[in-house]
Amino acid sequence: MNRLIKEFFMRREVLKITNFLVNYNFIFIFLIVVLIAHGLSENFLTSKNIANLFQQACVTGLVAIGMTYVILTANIDLSVGSVTALSGMIIAILLSSGVPILYAIFGTLIIGMLCGTLMGAISAYASVPSFIVTLAGLVSFRGITYLTTDGVPVSGLPKEFSLLSSSMVKLTSEFSMSSMGLIFLFMCVLSGLVLKFTVFGENVYASGGNPVAARLSGIPTKRVTVLVFTISGFTSALAGILLTSRLRIGQPTAAQGLELDAIAAVVLGGTSLFGGRGSILGTFFAVMLLQVLRNIFNLLGLGSFYQMTVTGIIIVGAVVLNRTIELRKGDY
């Protein structure tokens, strides 16, 4: 009897450890990579480089936040890169035409949300797979982006607009962070709280985990789908605004391949492509992990080909690790 009791408690402790590894393995991976980076370059953990990391991670991070909501419902949004580019061009055109900055930002965000709402509505109410709908959106929105100016970049933006991305906010006597980095952190915290502590967040997890049961229990799954795509459109538009502010030019070729970076970050952060499991915390650490890797390569003077190769290997390795831990969890 004593032996059975000991085995029971031992299996329970193993289950606790396994659950901890499943939920937070991305943090350990991130810390290991940071330690490696610090060992390779003594300049890595300087305040200037840390602030630079957050600024560079902002655009991908914002899009990944919206993508997290979408993937949690077992959908996917391939149009985010094109919506980001379209939003960047729209605000550049508005500002160069003399529209006040606040009005231009507000109008651009509305257009981005409408793009997301359109994708979600077609997918939810026409029962078309989100992969197909957003693939069409990827092509269409990119085409519209080129049509706005016949593919010509838009310059002549007001200097005040660049302050949206380049302003440095002093947090301590020795550490300052750019406004882009702070916006990214704020959106991570806000989005995480919404998912964790609101009814809408519960509905998102339920709709992705078991849509049939969620629908039978009274959850408006179609409305939830439309809303998560609207959120994705909003975060993509915000990313486009900040990217244009940083570049100080509206570039129709911007954000190409951004959707793949966002999906990679979400999956790397532990969000299941089948929906119902994941977190903004995981997405945040995954975005920063990918940015740290790029930063390491830049510090070492390695080209983009090395970055792409190693990043791909790490993503596959992390996904395999997550899957292995999940299977081990099932054994207990």
d(CA 256, CA 81): 6
d(CA 263, CA 39): 29
What's residue 3's pLDDT? Answer: 64
Helix, strand, coil in percent for the chain, rounding step 5: 80, 0, 20
d(CA 244, CA 89): 8
Share of the chain above pLDDT 70, in %: 87
What's residue 309's pLDDT? Answer: 82
What's residue 307's pLDDT? Answer: 73
pLDDT score of 218 more than 60: yes
What's residue 300's pLDDT? Answer: 74
Pull the structure tokens for residue 142: 């990119």
* 51/106: higher pLDDT: 106
What's residue 197's pLDDT? Answer: 94
Could you give the dihedral angle defined by the CA atoms of residues 161, 77, 284 and 309, in that order, rounded to the nearest 10 degrees? -100
pLDDT score of 119 more than 80: yes
Domain boundaries, the chain: 47-319
What's residue 322's pLDDT? Answer: 65
Asked if residues 258 and 126 have their Cβ atoms less than 8 Å apart, the reply is no
pLDDT band at 19 (very low <50, low <70, confident <90, very high): low
What's residue 5's pLDDT? Answer: 58
d(CA 285, CA 30): 7
pLDDT score of 10 more than 70: no
CATH number for 47-319 (one of 3.30.1560, 1.10.10, 1.10.3470, 2.40.128): it is: 1.10.3470
pTM of this structure: 0.89
* Mean of pLDDT values over 270-275: 86
pLDDT score of 245 more than 90: yes
Write the pLDDT tens digit of every residue in 170-182.
887 778 888 999 9
* 270/284: higher pLDDT: 284
pLDDT band at 294 (very low <50, low <70, confident <90, very high): confident
* Mean of pLDDT values over 111-131: 96
Using alpha carbons, list the distances in angstroms from residue 274 to 30, 50, 142, 261, 284: 24, 34, 27, 18, 20
pLDDT score of 211 more than 80: yes
* Mean of pLDDT values over 206-214: 92
Task: Find the range with the poorest average confidence among 119-123, 165-169, 219-223.
Answer: 165-169
Write the pLDDT tens digit of every residue in 38-71.
887 777 788 888 888 999 999 999 999 999 999 9
pLDDT band at 21 (very low <50, low <70, confident <90, very high): low
